[in-house]
Amino acid sequence: MKLLLTGGCGFIGSAVVRHLLRHTDHVIINVDKMTYAASEEALEEGRTHNRHVLVKADIADAAAMRQVFGTYDPDAVMHLAAESHVDRSIDGPADFVQTNVVGTFILLEAARTHYERMTGARKAAFRFHHVSTDEVFGALDHGDPPFTETTPYDPRSPYSASKAASDHLVRAWSHTYKLPTLVSNTCNNYGPWQFPEKLIPLVTLNALEGKELPVYGDGSNMRDWLFVEDHAEALVRVIEHGAPGETYAIGARQPRTNLQVVKTICALLDARLPDPAGPRERLIRFVTDRPGHDFRYEIDPSRTEAALSWKAPHDFDKGLARTIDWYLANKSWWEGVRAGRYAGQRLGTTQEKAA
């Protein structure tokens, strides 16, 4: 398969690139705008691999997208490119509407034109896989059942509203134009190469440096946590084996409160690099909650597990230990990020996922 992958230099996208190169024979056309959170280093062997091509372009640029489809003639599309940081969406929602809504529309139109020109077996096999988030479903309270593929939409932030809009566009192009689309919704991802504005790397690096560990509210907000390499494996299963028109809820069955996550990071670091000043839990500081902070997200992946013969291999403790060890071994990368190597970065006190 020749796969057009958008956002392949981002946190999740780069994990997909690495998985595809290591476990399949697919060719990857990686389209990435290279915003502040993108990293060519995260491609690892993909930077020089003969089955990977990086095209630096904006999905909201219609002419550029037409050129990409015309030049590379892909067999399928996996659409990951998105603005994904909730705090940033609150401060500046325009970029989220432009990339997540307008960009998805432009990509759908380019894909539709490409699909309508295809014939025979290639046309029958073509897929457009749109990767989304569980945040489009709103928030859960204590005792509510986890989200499933049929949970009604109830987005609460500019980020989740923009992703909900893009989900609806994808399904509309399926019904109206018969474009064979797939949608997947996932929970919080974590793992190597995550930009340090996200909760787990932010807390890890602050704790290493003896800085305060900011936790929103009282830390009781809860998320389901999925190791990024497990998510990459699931996404490839969706594009290879998913049924057009279907939705796949991808989760790990690993819910934790934000405070539990922070305390686990402290314990893992204390075991590896004890701080002479004492246990790192002393650095925890509760800060003013952000506007509209959803209480709980959690996904029931039962249907996806059965349909795709997939289940997340990592439990949270094992995946988090691997993540901590990676950050300890890759100091030069995150020091460069924190020094502002990526233009426009703003490291905040977020508790949210990457996309």
pLDDT band per the 50, 70, 90 thresholds, residue 344 = very low
Cβ neighbors of 326 (< 8 A, separation 6 or more) are: 191, 192
3-state secondary structure of 296: strand
At 204-221, the pLDDT tens digits run: 999 999 999 989 999 999
Locate 226 and state its tokens: 């999925």
Kindly write down the DSSP assignment for every residue of 26-63, as one continuous string.
Answer: -EEEEEE---TT--GGGGGGGGT-TTEEEEE--TT-HH
State residue 287's pLDDT score.
93
Check pLDDT > 60 for residue 352. no
* Beta pairing partners, 286: 215
Contact present, 134 and 144 (Cβ < 8 Å): no
State residue 337's pLDDT score.
87
Query: How many angstroms separate the CA atoms of 89 and 346, rounded?
Result: 13
**pTM value?**
0.93
At 108-128, the pLDDT tens digits run: 999 999 999 999 999 999 999
Catalytic residues, by residue number, are 134-135, 159
Structurally, at CATH architecture level, domain 2-194+226-254+297-313 sits in: 3-Layer(aba) Sandwich (3.40)
pLDDT band per the 50, 70, 90 thresholds, residue 347 = very low
Residue 179 half-sphere exposure, CB side, CA atoms within 13 Å? 28
State residue 348's pLDDT score.
39
3-state secondary structure of 171: helix
pLDDT band per the 50, 70, 90 thresholds, residue 342 = very low
Lowest average pLDDT, out of 17-21, 155-159, 247-251, 289-293, goes to 289-293
Kindly write down the DSSP assignment for every residue of 179-220, as one continuous string.
Answer: --EEEEEE-EEE-TT--TTSHHHHHHHHHHTT--EEEETTS-
State residue 268's pLDDT score.
98
Check pLDDT > 50 for residue 158. yes
The torsion angles phi and psi of 125, rounded to 5 degrees, stand at -95, -10
Query: How many angstroms separate the CA atoms of 185 and 134, rounded?
Result: 5
At 57-70, the pLDDT tens digits run: 999 999 999 999 99
Q: Could you identify the residue written with the tokens 């539709």?
A: 112
Query: How many angstroms separate the CA atoms of 182 and 127, rounded?
Result: 7
Q: What percent of the chain has pLDDT over 90?
A: 87
